[in-house]
Structure 1
Amino acid sequence: MGRFYIHTTDGHIATQKQLVEAGLATMDDDPARPWFPINAPIDATTMWYAAMRKQEKGVYIGTLVFRHQPHHTLLLEKGWEEVPVEEIGLPGTTSEISPAPDLG
């Protein structure tokens, strides 16, 4: 997947690729504020990680956590929201990421 960013004003989460496709970033440069990089492994994928957000003091913060692990549960209990995979991206664009495959 690559890097993830959160829009600190409205809480949208997007991948670096989506931001590059929209002309808001390059593969070498981060997008301008209010986009902020989410601290996560460079190879994070929504198959294993959940994108989480929370509004604190008027701005949104974001993180990626392993799904179905104690830390994921703790963040949900503390008011964090899991962003559905289909909502990751820029509003009004067609650039989407593939949902996690069904392994069952």
Structure 2
Amino acid sequence: MTVPYVPLLDPAQGEIVFPDLLTPYSSLWWNTYNISGIPNDAVGWMVAQGWQITDVAYDNAPNPPVPYYALSKTALQNEAILQSLLNSYTVAYNDARWAN
């Protein structure tokens, strides 16, 4: 059995080139929260939730002095991440539809 000859046909289509995209990561995804005036009995629970003690102030009126804490926490903004990833997905989907 012989292999048939298939003539070369020019598809008249150029190369489709899309620019390389970087990661959609953004520093805007992070936010820092600060609170102060936290009593001693709540600090343990808040530290377990990821808060960090940044300062201690004492109320010297009672005896012994009562500490009040200032806390800070850096956390992700989930809604900003989701919006960014959905935008990236939509752009990629539209590019793929255009290319095909």
Give the TM-score band, short-chain normalised.
Answer: under 0.3
Higher helix proportion: 2
Give the structure-1-normalised TM-score. 0.25
Q: Normalising by the residue count of structure 2, what TM-score does the alignment of the two structures yield?
A: 0.25
Larger radius of gyration: 2
